[in-house]
Amino acid sequence: MNTESREAATSSGDRIFKGVSYFFAISVMCLMGLVVLVLFKESLPSIQKFGLGFITSTSWDPVALEFGALPAIYGTVVTSIIAIVIALPISIGIAIFLTEMAPTSLKGPIGVAIELLASIPSIIYGMWGLFILSPLLGDYVEPFIIDHFGFIPLFDGAPLGIGMLPAGFILAIMIIPFISSVSRDVFLMVPSILKESGYGVGATKWEVIRRVVLPFARSGIVGAVILGLGRALGETMAVTFMIGNSPDISLSLLDPATSISATLANEFTEADHPLYLSSIVELGLMLFIITFVVLAIAKLMTRRYEKR
Amino acid sequence: MNLHYLRRKLVNYVALGISLLSAVFGIVFLCWILKDVLVLGLPALNTSFFTELPAPPGMEGGGVANAIVGTIMITVIATVVGVPAGILAGTYLSEFGRKSRVASAVRFLSDILVSAPSIVVGIFVYALLVGPMGGFSLLAGSLALAIIMLPVVIRTSEEMLKLVPDSTREAALALGAPQWRVTVQVVYRGALRGMVTGVMLAVARVSGETAPLLFTSFNNTFWNFSLTEPTASLTVTIFNYAMAPYEEWHSIAWGAALLITAMLLVVTLLARFFARGRSTG
């Protein structure tokens, strides 16, 4: 082969390879755009029929073909907030334990154990929650809450073991690995010279953590929490099992409710009318846009802690 | 003075104790869930579980053989579609794009899509494929999982390819090899171990997915090997069986849960072990 044709072969090979890999890289963006486009097109009938009222209406009535998303949005938001409130302190505790406290021999195994929590599929959490956790909550925990805190409207209700609080609790266990692993990475970025100067002036370990590590890591932790929020908002199977699936808005966290994802999972294949289906797809579109925005914010906030 | 010192020490121990308890909390739930899945799932794993088709409610016996095969088929097809696409996209980010705007946009989107709700992908594939094709299908389920797998594979393969030192690339280029050969024969080879690990994790992750399969591959009480017919999967079977009011079905659901969980844990631990082998050489 002479030099010229060999060079030509080389450069065309390069061009093809680069072109193909570019195509697949671009395909992610196209896919993303296509998802939004397709969902929007499918939800057009519902958007045209209900307009903005879809978001504010509380009626979800497949028989009368009246659909409002407020109960589902309410359930999604409330369960996610419960999940964050429970998961945040525990995740920070785990991150502190793994970075500042645990002896080296324990760091690995405990870190792996927490990460394994993330690898258990959502459906297993849901099933375990329904059959094991929910009876326990209904028999022991919720009666206790009702007896002692029942005067607060949030905890006034019947001890069913399913509802927004149980769903939020399962969600909390599911997002702990994500929040704690991001927080741990952020804590590891704190320069040791800062911590050492803390110890140098006689601070205790907790004082160093509170006055040096946490302030340094603040925006990273906020990012981690928002990431956890994004996960919790879109989590489907576990919530479907635990939330009770009733399209009502109730102040009590012990009452059954529904969420966007649970409505999708339960009713999508039952939708027997184009408008019904279209309304469900519109719920899906809303969920996608909300989680996208939340996750994008989380990504931007944790970006500066990434290892270079 | 002394009292002040004592108080600080006390606060220190209380705070550290709470952080210890948090770690214990996580581990307790992990062990608790695994214990229940094992104890309740093990009795269901008998010969008929692995060899028979589902039995109607109330009947003794019956298994989930079709769902096991279904899950394997869906996952394999998803892997065949998703992994090469993801690796090539990852290659662009690591070898060609690097700091280009396209590359950083793709990175950003992939990171978000990794955590995006998988049920939305199910709806997307439903609208794209199930509606026009006139029914649920094995193909639709596989496509949904391939889409979910894509961003995971892109990000891990990029990370792994980046670990190959630039001097290796330059050495190969200096020998006169075209860039595509450098990538395929030198860079891929150097990153092989890490990429295999990443792919294993991605495959394991999607094989536990339920939500995107509910309206794509749906369910089937019989065998199916056709791309265009509904197909049973372990996860959807768990969903249907656990929601049903029959004791025998619950037991089979626990068995299926044990199967999926055990497989996922083994793969995750293997992948970790594999990845550790890489860093120590």
Question: Which of B4, B13, B29, B148 should we substitute to test contact with A (largest number of A Cβ atoms within 10 Å)?
Answer: B29
Does A236 sit within 8 Å of B85, measured CB to CB?
no
* Nearest C-alpha in B relative to A103: B20
Does A91 sit within 8 Å of B25, measured CB to CB?
no
* A16 within some domain: no
B167 has a pLDDT exceeding 70? yes
Range of the domain at A91: 53-305
pLDDT given at position A31: 93
- 3-state helix, strand and coil shares in percent for chain A, rounded to the nearest 5: 80, 0, 20
Q: What is the SS3 assignment for A257?
A: strand
pLDDT given at position B280: 38
> What distance in Å separates the CA atoms of residue B106 and residue B109, rounded to the nearest whole number?
5
Burial track A220-255 (b if 16+ CB lie within 10 A, e otherwise): bbebbbbbbbbbbbbbbbbbbbbbbbebeebebbbb
B254 has a pLDDT exceeding 50? yes
* A64 within some domain: yes
pLDDT given at position A232: 96
pLDDT given at position A266: 92
pLDDT given at position A177: 95
* A193 within some domain: yes
Burial (CB < 10 A; 0-12, 13-18, 19+), residue B176, is: exposed
Does A207 sit within 8 Å of B115, measured CB to CB?
no
Q: Work out the average pLDDT over B57-78.
A: 90
B92 has a pLDDT exceeding 90? yes
Does A24 sit within 8 Å of B86, measured CB to CB?
yes
CB atoms inside a 10 Å sphere around CB A7: 12
Task: Kindly state the percentage of chain B with pLDDT values over 70.
Answer: 98
Does A112 sit within 8 Å of B110, measured CB to CB?
no
B279 has a pLDDT exceeding 50? no
Shortest Cα distance from A132 to chain B (angstroms)?
8
Q: What mean pLDDT, rounded, does chain B reach?
A: 91
For B174-205, the pLDDT digits (tens) are 998 888 899 999 999 999 988 998 899 899 88
| Contact list, B121 vs chain A (CB under 8 Å) | 35
B281 has a pLDDT exceeding 70? no
For chain A, what is the domain count?
Answer: 1
Closest residue to B20, CB basis, from A21, A97, A291? A97
Closest residue to B120, CB basis, from A21, A128, A284? A284
* A36 within some domain: no
CB atoms inside a 10 Å sphere around CB A20: 17
Closest residue to A116, CB basis, from B30, B109, B179? B30
pLDDT given at position A34: 95
Please check whether residue B22 touches A, CB under 8 A: yes
State the pLDDT confidence band at B277, using cuts at 50, 70 and 90: low
**Ranges of chain A with pLDDT below 70:** 1-4, 6, 306-308
Classify domain B61-279 by CATH number.
1.10.3720.10
pLDDT given at position A74: 95
| Contact list, B124 vs chain A (CB under 8 Å) | 34-35, 38-39
Closest residue to B260, CB basis, from A28, A101, A121? A121
| CATH code for the domain in which residue A288 is found | 1.10.3720.10
* A96 within some domain: yes
Report the amino acid identity of residue A73. I
First-residue to last-residue Cα distance in chain A: 44
